[in-house]
Amino acid sequence: MNQLRLITPVYNDWTSFAMLLRELDKVAASLPLQIFVSAIDDGSEEAVALVLGELAGLKHIAGAEVVSLAVNVGHQRAIAIGLCAAAQDHDFDAVLVMDADGEDPPHAIAALIQGIADRKDFCVVAQRAKRLETASFKLFYLLYKGFFKLATGHAISFGNFCLISRSYVDRLVMISDLWNNLPAAILRSRLPLNYVPIHRGRRYAGRSKMNFTSLIVHGLSGISVYADTIFVRLLTLSVLLTIASVVLVSGLLAVRIFSPSHATPGWTTTIAFGLSIIILQVLFTALSSILMLLNSRVQRLVLPRLDYLPYIRDRRLLFGHRLPTLLQGLAPDANN
């Protein structure tokens, strides 16, 4: 591997991005490859010009660009657009996805590269060995992982920080689930994964833009990738509960009819029939949901590689050499 494309989404956090570039420059000095950085500007109100004065001392990074999006699409879709834009270029052997705020430490890149071993095709993901968030965040994250495992049958223990070979990037951008959540899409794609334990770093500057609501939405978007699996599990559970309800009601009726001497409380029958109605409603809801899901398969899904282009407003080179790309028409000169 000689050429590495680094993709990082940025939303009003150019101060952290400038600090990331300085840290990457130090790391790049000891790596036997060239690093080109693509910052995906997710509809920021802050101007990228704020960091231009910080780039003069960079010596070891091959170059950097800003891919500006026309609207704010969210962290995960910004990553998906960055992967699609990279897939159209011809100058990289692998893509590294990481956050720009310092929580994905640049010094851990060497560990991810070591995780490749001698593989030609690879997907190396950072497994969080230690987290520095608040106790409440850790609690909700544990609940998310537990619910993800319960609902989908798959364990998820990694985030966006990952290293993916060119061939696997070409596969990922053809998966519609990438539009919702990168880690879940990687799991869904069934790519062979290599896990590397990495401690989470400290944020460079400012505060995280992710609040409680966005955290819940992020978790649900990951779980939604397995919607078909979840609905099938819900349907199976509903069928089992329906069978149990039918057995219970049948037993009560048998006692009433064939053993009238064994009196049962008057409320027993009411509760049994009420429970049966509720379970049947759950069964029909689950069945209707899975039928709608299956019917949606005949509709055209979002295909990231084909549908990402309208979101890109322009590509601006910050420094380094312009990369050969199929999007030259979207890349005005850095001096404009």
Residue 74 and residue 180 in one domain: yes
Terminal CA-CA length for the chain: 34
Supply the pLDDT for residue 29.
92
Residue 108 and residue 149 in one domain: yes
Enumerate helices (H) and strands (E) in the chain, giving the number of each: 10, 8
**At 304, is the pLDDT very low, low, confident or very high (cuts 50, 70, 90)?**
very high
Tell me if 336 is assigned to some domain: no
Is the per-residue pLDDT at 81 higher than 60? yes
Supply the pLDDT for residue 182.
93
Higher pLDDT, 265 or 45: 45
Is the per-residue pLDDT at 24 higher than 90? yes
Mean pLDDT to the nearest integer, 98-114:
93
CATH code for position 107: 3.90.550.10
Is the per-residue pLDDT at 261 higher than 50? yes
Residue 240 and residue 221 in one domain: no
Q: Which residues pair with 95 in a beta bridge?
A: 5, 164
Tell me if 135 is assigned to some domain: yes
Is the per-residue pLDDT at 80 higher than 90? yes
Tell me if 24 is assigned to some domain: yes
Residue 155 and residue 241 in one domain: no
Residue 80 and residue 209 in one domain: yes
Higher pLDDT, 214 or 131: 214
Task: Report d(CA 28, CA 34) in Å as an integer.
Answer: 7
Q: Of all helices (H) and strands (E), which one includes residue 289? A: helix 266-296
Tell me if 33 is assigned to some domain: yes
Q: Over pLDDT 90: what percentage of the chain?
A: 38
Mean pLDDT to the nearest integer, 67-86:
94
Is the per-residue pLDDT at 263 higher than 60? no
Supply the pLDDT for residue 65.
92
Tell me if 218 is assigned to some domain: yes
Tell me if 308 is assigned to some domain: yes
- How high does pLDDT run on average in the chain? 82
Closest CA to 320 of 82, 61, 92: 61
Residue 318 and residue 275 in one domain: no
Residue 106 and residue 188 in one domain: yes
Q: In what order do the strands lie in the sheet containing 194-199?
A: 194-199, 123-130, 158-165, 94-97, 3-10, 34-41, 63-69, 312-320
Task: Report d(CA 160, CA 286) in Å as an integer.
Answer: 32
Mean pLDDT to the nearest integer, 94-106:
93
Residue numbers of the domain that contains 276: 228-296
Residue 132 and residue 274 in one domain: no
Is the per-residue pLDDT at 20 higher than 90? yes
Task: Report d(CA 264, CA 201) in Å as an integer.
Answer: 63
Across 110-119, 136-145, 304-313, least confident range: 136-145
Supply the pLDDT for residue 23.
93
Q: Which residues contact 218 (CB under 8 A, 6 or more apart)?
A: 75, 76, 181, 210
Residue 203 and residue 119 in one domain: yes
Residue 232 and residue 221 in one domain: no
Residue 179 and residue 239 in one domain: no
Residue 221 and residue 233 in one domain: no
Q: What is the tally of structural domains in the chain?
A: 2
Tell me if 335 is assigned to some domain: no
pLDDT in tens, 64-74: 999 999 999 99
Higher pLDDT, 131 or 250: 250
Inter-helix orientation angle 75-87/182-189, to 10°: 60
